[in-house]
Amino acid sequence: MGGEPRHIMASTLPVLSKKPKGQQIQSIYTSRLGQFTDSGQYYQQGLRAKFHEATADDKDHVKLSVYSPPDLARPTFEDAVSHDFRPTQIGESFGPSWSTHWFKVKLTVPQNMLKAEHLEFHWDADNEGLVWSEDGIPLQGLTGGGERIEWVLPNSFRDGKEHTFYIEMACNQMFGNAPGGDTIQPPSPNKYYTLNTARITAVNLDARALYIDFWIIGDAAREFPGDSWEKHQALQVCNAIMDTFIAGNGTREAIRECRKIAQQYIGENIDSEKVYESDKEAIVYGIGHCHIDTCWLWPFAETKRKVVRSWMSQCDLMDRYPEHRFTVSQAQQYKWLEQNYPAAFDRVKGKVKKGAFLPIGGSWVEHDTNLPSGESLVRQFLYGQRYFESHFGERCTTFWLPDTFGYSSQLPQLSRLAGMGRFFTQKLSWNNINNFPHTTFRWVALDGSQVLCHMAPSETYTAAAHFGDVKRSVTQHKSMDQDNTSLLVFGKGDGGGGPTREMLDKLRRCRGMSDKIGLLPRVHMGNTVDQFFEKLEQKASNGTEFVTWYGELYFELHRGTYTTQANNKLGNRKSEIMLRDLEYLATLATVKSKSYKYPKKDIDDMWENVLLCQFHDCLPGSSIEMCYDDSDKIYAEVFKTGSNAKSDALSVLGMAEQIDSDSRLVALNTMPWSRSELVELPSSKVIATQSKYAVATGGPGAIEIQHPSVLGSSNVSVKEVKAGVFQMTNTHFKVEVEAGCVTSLVDLKADREVIAKGEKANQFVIFDDKPLYWQAWDVEVYHLDSRKVLSSGKSRILENGPHKVSVVTETQISQESWVKSTISLSASMGDEPGYVAIDAEVEWRETMKFLKVEFPVDIVNTEAAYETQYGIIRRPTHYNTSWDMAKFEVCCHKFADLSEAGYGVSILNDSKYGFATCGNLMRLSLLRAPKAPDAHADMGRHHIRWAIMPHVGSLSAQSVRTAANFNNPMGVYALTTGSASQPDKHNTIFSSIRVKGSDSLILDCIKRGEDDEDVSRGELAKREGRSVILRIYESMGGKSRGTIETSLPVKKVWKCNVLEDDGEVCRTYGGGGSAGGVLKCDIELRAFEVATFRLQL
Ligand SMILES: [Zn+2]
C-alpha cells in the first residue's frame, strides 16, 4: 500500500429522499402532446388559438362585390374588371361547377391593427382562387379548404386608407369537382361553394413558429426508434414546452420562452435560411415541386389557371425563403403562362435568372411513354428543349417524369440524344406486385445507351416535407451500397399548388435537428436537381459502379391505359402518321420549288397539339370527359390543318386530291420502300376501268396504277364449303371461317397450319373488368378468370370479286352492344407479305367490361415480341415468376409477334396498344368500359382494323414494314397538268433521298432542319442554307449497314442528335455536283440505334 492519501468526495445527492418520483409513462406523455396543437376540446387552451391576435371582416373594413361571367367563361382580367360588380358578402354561395367569379375586395386595415407585427388577408371559399393587384398583376394562388388561404398584405396597406384588389374564384377544388369523397368519380356539374372567410388577420408569428417547432420535435418523440436517447429527449422537450406555455398562460412572453426550450433540440438558426449554412454534409436534398397534371380531373383551360396560381404562390415564397428551389417541367405550361399572363411570365423569368425557379424535364409535357411513337418521343424533347433554350437560354439536363405510367425501353437513348443523361421518376413505387429494387441506378436502353436514374426513396413527388419523409429518405433507400444521397421532392401536387410556407418551415427544423441532435438524415435546401445528379456523376467517374437495369421500366399497375379512350388513341396514331407524311411531302416540295414555303407554323402547331394530347392522363385515358371533348376538337383541328397543308405540298409535287373522270391516277407511296397494294378507286373511275380496285406496285412516290388484270386471272376466291363454313383462298393462304372465327389458316407455301389445333382465331372474348380502385387506369389480374367467349351469328359472303373477297359476321355482345367483323383476303401481290385482314365495326355500350380478340397459334416460344418505339421488346409468354406474371397485359405498337425457329405470326393493328401473349394464345385488347373518371368512356361506335400475318422465318423487318404499310394505306391522287406528261421526271423528286442496305434500317422521318433560314420561325439562331433531316433506326436488334443515296445537291452530311446539333461529319462519295450525280454516304447503326443525319444543301 503506498503513497497518496485516499480522497473521499462528498456526494451532492441528499442523503434523505424527500418525496417519491415515478417513471414517466412514455405513451401517456406522448399522447398528451396532441392537446397542445389539435383542434379538439382543448383547442382554446392550446397553441393554435394564439395564432390570430386580431381579425376584421366587417363591411367597414372588408367590402366585397362580385362579377359572375356567364356560360362558364374564364375571362381575362381586363374583360372581367370592365363589368359591373354587385355587392356580396360572406355566406353567399357561388357556382355551378367550373364557373368563375371575380371579386373586388376593398380593404381598410383597422386602426388597432396598423401596428401589428404581420398582417394577412384570409380568404376561403373551399375552392381555388387567384389574387390580382388592382392594376391586373396576378400575385398569388389560393387553395381553399383551410389550405393556402392567406395572402400577406403589403406594408403599403397599413395607412388606414382603402385599398383595392381582386380575387378570381374558380368553382373547382384542387382535384376538380368530385361529387363526394371519391375524387375519381365523374365530376358533379352542380357544385356550389360558400364564401366562408374573407378577413384581415394580425398574426402572432411566434405562435405560428412554435407550432412548427413543436410539430417536428413531437414527430421525433413519436417516430424515432424506442431505444434511442433522441426519442426520449424529444419527449422531454415537448412536455417542457407545454408546461411552460401553461405556466405562462400562453402569453407572447410564454411563447417566446417555449421557443427557447425548442432550440435545445432544433438549434437557434431555424427561423432563416441560415440553418442550412452549417458545413455538415447533408444526404437528403429537398427540392420544391408542383406537379400540375396538364389535364386530369379538370380540363386544359383550368390547368392554364392552375399554372399561374401555383407558380405565383411559389415566386412569393421565394421572396421570403431564399433557400427555396422550385423545379418545374412541361414547356407547354410555360408557353401558356407566356401567352395568357405575360406579367407572371416575366416574374418567373426573373426567378429563373436568380436560380430559384428551375426549368427541368426537357419535354413538351410530362408525356406518356408507352403509347407515343418514337418520333413523338423525339418531338417531346425537340419542342421541349427548344422552348427552354429559346426562353431561358439553356436546355434541361435532367429528364423529369415522376408520374408517368411506365417507361418504355428506348427512353435512355432518346434522352441522351436530347442532351439529358439524368432521369428522375417515382411512379414505380406504386407497383402492386413486385417492389422495384433500386433507388439510384443506371437505366440502359435497347441499344445500350444509359442514363443515371434516381427514384426518390420517400416514394412521392408530392411530399408534405414531413419528418417522416426525411426519415424515409434513408430507411427506404435501396441503393445505399453505392450512395446514400437522395432527393426529397415536396410540394402540393397533381392539382398544382406546390410547397407551402409550412413545408419550408418544417424542413428548416429538420435540418436544425440533424445538426443539433443528429439521428435524422441531414436535409439540405438550396441545391438544384442538377447539382444532386452532378455529385452522383462525380462519384461514378471516381469509380462507383451504380447498378444497372436493362430494358423497360414496366409499371405493374395502370395496364388498362393501353386501351381506355379508344378514339383518343386512334387520333394519336393517325396524327403521327399524317405528320410523318406531311413533313416528308413538304420537304420534297421545298426542294422542288423555291416558291413553296415549308409550312413550319402549321407543322409546329400540329405537333404541339399532338404532343399536348400525349400528356400522361390524356392519351392513357385517365381523364374526365371534358378533357376528351377537348382532345376530339384538338385532333379534328390537327387533321384539318394537316389535310390542307398536305394538299399544298402535293400540288407542288404534281398531285391533287380532286379526281375528275379524265384524271390520270397515281397511288402515293410515302413509305421509303417498294410495296404492292390493292388500292380502291374512286367511284367515278370504276365504270371506265370496270374494276373497283387497281394495283399499285413501286415506290416511294407516285405510282402509276394498273388494272388488276396484271395480277393474272383471279387468284383469290371464296366459297361456302359447308353450311356456314367459308373458305377463302389466294396463292398464300387457305382460310376457313365459321361464325366469324378463323378455324383454319393454312400457309400454302410453307404447307403449315397456323391456328392451334382445335382452336379458333379471331375469337371475340369479353371479361368482367373491375379493378381494385383506379377504373380507367387499371385492369387487374383476376379479370382473366372471367373470360367469356362471345358466340357469333352466321357468317356470309360480303364481297366476292376477282381481287378481294370477304366474309362478314355479326356478333351480339349484349342487348345494346355488337360487333360486325369483316374478314377479308386480297389477291396475292408477288412477294408482298400476305395477311388476313379484319375490319370491325363495334357498337359498345357496356359497363365495366373488357372486349378482346384472340388468336391461338401453333407456335412455341417462351417469349413474344412487341413493337415499341424504335425497336422490339421481348416479354415472357409464361407466368414463371411474379415479375413474369405481372406482365399479363403489355403495350405494343403496330404489331405483336410470336415466332419460333423458322416460323411466326404477327398480329398487326391500326390503333390499339394493349396486348397479351399467354402461352400460344395471342390476345389483342380492343375496348374497355370504365365509368370513372369519365362515365361515358368509349361508349358508342368504333372502327378497328387488325390483321393476322403469318410469316416464314422468325420475326424480321418484314413485320415492321408491313405493319407500317397497314397503318398507312396508299391513297389515290390525280396527276395535275404539267406532271401528267412526265411521270418519270415527276418521281425523280421522290427517289432523290433513299436508304439502301439492310432491311432492318427504317427511314422513319424526313423533315427540314428546324433552324434552316427559310424554315426557322426565329426562336433560335438561324442556320445558313437549307438542310434535310433524316431519322433512321435499326429495327431488329443487330448491327446493320446501309447507304444514304441522294441526288439532291448535298454539300455535307452530319450525324447529329435529335435536337439537330451537328456531330461528326459523315464521309460521302459520288455526287460531285455533276447533274443527276448520286451522292452516297455509308452508314452503320448498332442494334436498335436511332440515328439522325443532317444533309446540308
Ligand atoms: Zn400526373
Q: What is the pLDDT of residues 767-790, one digit of tens each?
A: 999 999 999 999 999 999 999 999
The DSSP bridge partners found for residue 896 are 866, 907
How many residues comprise the chain? 1097
Task: Report how far residue 568's alpha carbon sits from residue 582's, in angstroms, rounded to the nearest whole number.
Answer: 21
Report the 10 Å Cβ neighbour count for 940: 11
Task: Report how far residue 441's alpha carbon sits from residue 453's, in angstroms, rounded to the nearest whole number.
Answer: 5
Q: For position 988, what pLDDT does the model report?
A: 79
Phi, psi of 956 (to 5 degrees): -140, 180
Annotated catalytic residue within 124, 126, 219, 403: 403
Is the CB of residue 728 less than 8 Å from the CB of residue 718? Answer: yes
Q: State the Cα angle at 140 between 135 and 144, rounded to 5°.
A: 125
Please say if 403 is a catalytic residue. yes
Residue of higher predicted confidence among 1076 and 692 = 692
Kindly give the distance from the C-alpha atom of residue 224 to the centroid of ligand 1, in angstroms, as a whole number.
Answer: 32
pLDDT band of residue 707 (cuts 50, 70, 90) is: confident
Q: Environment class of residue 991 by beta-carbon count within 10 Å: exposed (0-12), middle (13-18) or buried (19+)? A: middle
Kindly give the distance from the C-alpha atom of residue 1080 to the centroid of ligand 1, in angstroms, as a whole number.
Answer: 46
Kindly give the distance from the C-alpha atom of residue 564 to the centroid of ligand 1, in angstroms, as a whole number.
Answer: 17
Least reliable range by pLDDT among 151-155, 395-399, 685-689, 1000-1004: 685-689
- Measured on CA atoms in the order 955, 956, 958, 960, is the torsion positive or negative? positive
Q: Count helices and strands (H / E) in the chain.
A: 21, 57
Q: For position 3, what pLDDT does the model report?
A: 59
- Measured on CA atoms in the order 737, 742, 746, 748, is the torsion positive or negative? positive
Kindly give the distance from the C-alpha atom of residue 635 to the centroid of ligand 1, in angstroms, as a whole number.
Answer: 22
Report the 10 Å Cβ neighbour count for 710: 10
Kindly give the distance from the C-alpha atom of residue 603 to the centroid of ligand 1, in angstroms, as a whole number.
Answer: 27
Q: For position 1072, what pLDDT does the model report?
A: 64
Give the three-state DSSP class for 1023. strand
pLDDT tens-digit map of 135-164: 999 999 999 999 999 999 999 999 999 999
pLDDT tens-digit map of 306-336: 999 999 999 999 999 999 999 999 999 999 9
Give the three-state DSSP class for 498. strand
Kindly give the distance from the C-alpha atom of residue 296 to the centroid of ligand 1, in angstroms, as a whole number.
Answer: 8
pLDDT tens-digit map of 757-767: 999 999 999 99
pLDDT band of residue 542 (cuts 50, 70, 90) is: very high
Q: For position 369, what pLDDT does the model report?
A: 98
pLDDT tens-digit map of 900-914: 999 999 999 999 999
pLDDT band of residue 965 (cuts 50, 70, 90) is: very high
Kindly give the distance from the C-alpha atom of residue 168 to the centroid of ligand 1, in angstroms, as a whole number.
Answer: 25
Kindly give the distance from the C-alpha atom of residue 624 to the centroid of ligand 1, in angstroms, as a whole number.
Answer: 14
Task: Report how far residue 306's alpha carbon sits from residue 174's, in angstroms, rounded to the nearest whole number.
Answer: 9
Kindly give the distance from the C-alpha atom of residue 157 to the centroid of ligand 1, in angstroms, as a whole number.
Answer: 39
For the question of whether the overall pTM of this predicted structure is more than 0.85, the answer is: yes
Task: Report how far residue 518's alpha carbon sits from residue 515's, in angstroms, rounded to the nearest whole number.
Answer: 6
pLDDT tens-digit map of 466-522: 999 999 999 999 999 999 999 999 999 999 999 999 999 999 999 999 999 999 999
In this prediction, residues 160-187 reach a mean pLDDT of 96
pLDDT band of residue 699 (cuts 50, 70, 90) is: confident
Task: Report how far residue 601's alpha carbon sits from residue 1015's, in angstroms, rounded to the nearest whole number.
Answer: 9
Tell me: pLDDT of 1076 over 70.
Answer: no
Kindly give the distance from the C-alpha atom of residue 56 to the centroid of ligand 1, in angstroms, as a whole number.
Answer: 39
Kindly give the distance from the C-alpha atom of residue 630 to the centroid of ligand 1, in angstroms, as a whole number.
Answer: 18
pLDDT tens-digit map of 867-911: 999 999 999 999 999 999 999 999 999 999 999 999 999 999 999
Kindly give the distance from the C-alpha atom of residue 52 to the centroid of ligand 1, in angstroms, as a whole number.
Answer: 36
Kindly give the distance from the C-alpha atom of residue 780 to the centroid of ligand 1, in angstroms, as a whole number.
Answer: 21
In this prediction, residues 192-206 reach a mean pLDDT of 98
Q: For position 715, what pLDDT does the model report?
A: 85
Smallest Cα–Cα separation from 140: which of 158, 118, 119, 167? 167
In this prediction, residues 165-184 reach a mean pLDDT of 96
Kindly give the distance from the C-alpha atom of residue 610 to the centroid of ligand 1, in angstroms, as a whole number.
Answer: 18
pLDDT tens-digit map of 41-88: 999 999 999 999 999 999 999 999 999 999 999 999 999 999 999 999
Kindly give the distance from the C-alpha atom of residue 302 to the centroid of ligand 1, in angstroms, as a whole number.
Answer: 15
Task: Report how far residue 386's alpha carbon sits from residue 62's, in angstroms, rounded to the nearest whole number.
Answer: 47
pLDDT tens-digit map of 87-111: 999 999 999 999 999 999 999 999 9
The grid coordinates of residue 836 equal 388476313
Kindly give the distance from the C-alpha atom of residue 428 to the centroid of ligand 1, in angstroms, as a whole number.
Answer: 13
Give the three-state DSSP class for 236. helix
Kindly give the distance from the C-alpha atom of residue 427 to the centroid of ligand 1, in angstroms, as a whole number.
Answer: 10
Least reliable range by pLDDT among 67-81, 211-225, 940-954, 971-985: 971-985
Tell me: pLDDT of 982 over 60.
Answer: no
Is the CB of residue 736 less than 8 Å from the CB of residue 753? Answer: no
Q: For position 985, what pLDDT does the model report?
A: 58
Q: For position 660, what pLDDT does the model report?
A: 85
Kindly give the distance from the C-alpha atom of residue 98 to the centroid of ligand 1, in angstroms, as a whole number.
Answer: 21
Q: For position 219, what pLDDT does the model report?
A: 98
In this prediction, residues 712-716 reach a mean pLDDT of 78
In this prediction, residues 363-388 reach a mean pLDDT of 98
Percent of the chain past pLDDT 90, that is, above it, reads: 93
Is the CB of residue 886 less than 8 Å from the CB of residue 436? Answer: no
Smallest Cα–Cα separation from 836: which of 948, 736, 756? 948
Q: For position 663, what pLDDT does the model report?
A: 86
Report the side by side order of strands in the sheet with 422-425: 398-400, 422-425, 450-455, 440-444, 548-550
DSSP string, 80-104: HHTS--EEE-TT-EE-STT-EEEEE
